[in-house]
């Protein structure tokens, strides 16, 4: 089994449109303990089979995990064999938590281990960048500054589980990342990522909640006011900070680690506006080589 971990964006600045149709961004990624579980098996015939316990997810080339297996086959790493992928889904779909990207990353990491390829993390990230902007980060996770489309990474000191509990609240609707970015308009950058990176590098954990920032949040809130309600509810419940992750619609709240009373109250307040709630924790960088050591 390969874990596929969710992520949040502690900061997200959109810097401009690129000639390739994407947007130039600067973002600070953070992995979470909430995860999907991925099982892989080699098949004797050259084919891809994908199964998932979430009925709304496609099991063909529209699924990033399928495309990850397809890419490994196209690159010649699988030979004449096929791949079966089984996904146990826990990360909400189309929620700004990189669930699909993390599943794809897990397939790349898992096949690297299963086939004994010994590909380094840098190569896996190169492959991941062909699939999606968040996939390279999801190869190892941890805490990182992402630039370019998000695929260029500078890893930062890990936030430990002793810093914050993270309450995730996903309202009962999906948003289109493409649509959100299409409505973005240039604005003066606030330098939010630089301030967040500086605080993390200095391990000034207490400053992090006040530095949360997302350029896309107001774009989504204009059409879905519940985003604002969730943030207000989190702060009313005692969260130190709250923010929409990525292009939404999930909102996350930071609570001092181990403060069960406050975490419970934040969860209760946010539960008035969300149908999916999770309490999780930050998790650090994981070297794909650890899966090589543990393979059968």
Active site positions, annotated? 7, 134
Cis ω for the linkage preceding 249 (within 30 of 0): yes
Is 69:107 a contact under the CB 8 Å cutoff? yes
**How, if at all, do strands 48-52 and 82-88 pair?**
parallel
**Contact (Cβ atoms closer than 8 angstroms) between residue 138 and residue 128:** yes
| Longest pairwise C-alpha distance within the chain | 57
Q: Are strands 213-214 and 2-17 parallel, antiparallel or unpaired?
A: parallel
**What are the backbone dihedrals phi and psi of residue 73, each rounded to the nearest 5 degrees, phi first?**
-70, -45
**SS3 of residue 71 by DSSP:** helix
Contact 257, 135 (CB under 8 A): no
CA dihedral for 243, 143, 208, 22, sign (positive or negative):
negative
What is the three-class DSSP state of 221? helix
- The answer to whether 253 touches 270, Cβ cutoff 8 Å, is yes
Helix or strand run (H / E) with residue 67:
helix 64-74
Q: Distance between alpha carbon 154 and the CA centroid of its chain, in Å?
A: 16
Q: Are 168 and 250 in contact (CB under 8 A)?
A: yes
- Per the DSSP assignment, residues forming a β-bridge with 153 are 146
């Amino acid at each position: 089994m390969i874990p596929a971990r969710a992520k949040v964006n502690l900061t997200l600045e959109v810097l401009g449109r690129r000639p390739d149709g994407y947007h130039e961004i600067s973002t600070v990624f953070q992995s979470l303990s909430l995860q999907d579980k991925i099982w892989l098996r080699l098949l004797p015939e050259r084919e891809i089979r994908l199964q998932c316990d979430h009925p709304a997810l496609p099991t063909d080339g529209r699924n990033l995990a399928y495309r990850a297996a397809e890419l490994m086959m196209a690159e010649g790493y699988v030979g004449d064999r096929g791949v079966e992928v089984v996904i146990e889904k826990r990360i909400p779909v189309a929620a700004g938590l990189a669930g699909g990207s993390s599943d794809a990353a897990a397939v790349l990491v898992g096949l690297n281990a299963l086939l004994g390829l010994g590909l380094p993390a840098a190569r896996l990230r190169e492959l991941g960048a062909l699939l999606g902007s968040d996939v390279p980060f999801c190869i190892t996770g941890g805490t990182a500054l992402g630039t370019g489309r998000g695929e260029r990474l500078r890893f930062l000191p890990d936030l430990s589980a002793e810093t914050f509990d993270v309450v995730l609240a996903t309202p009962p609707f999906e948003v289109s990342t493409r649509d959100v970015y299409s409505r973005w308009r240039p604005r003066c950058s606030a330098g939010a990522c630089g301030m967040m990176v500086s605080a993390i590098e200095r391990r000034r954990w207490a400053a992090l909640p006040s530095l949360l920032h997302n350029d896309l949040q107001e774009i989504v809130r204009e059409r879905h006011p519940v985003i604002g309600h969730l943030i207000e509810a989190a702060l009313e419940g005692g969260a130190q900070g709250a923010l929409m992750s990525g292009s939404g619609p999930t909102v996350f709240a930071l609570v001092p680690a181990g403060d069960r009373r406050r975490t419970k109250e934040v969860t209760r307040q946010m539960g008035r506006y969300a149908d999916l709630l999770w309490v999780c924790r930050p998790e650090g960088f994981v070297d794909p080589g650890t899966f090589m050591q543990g393979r059968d």
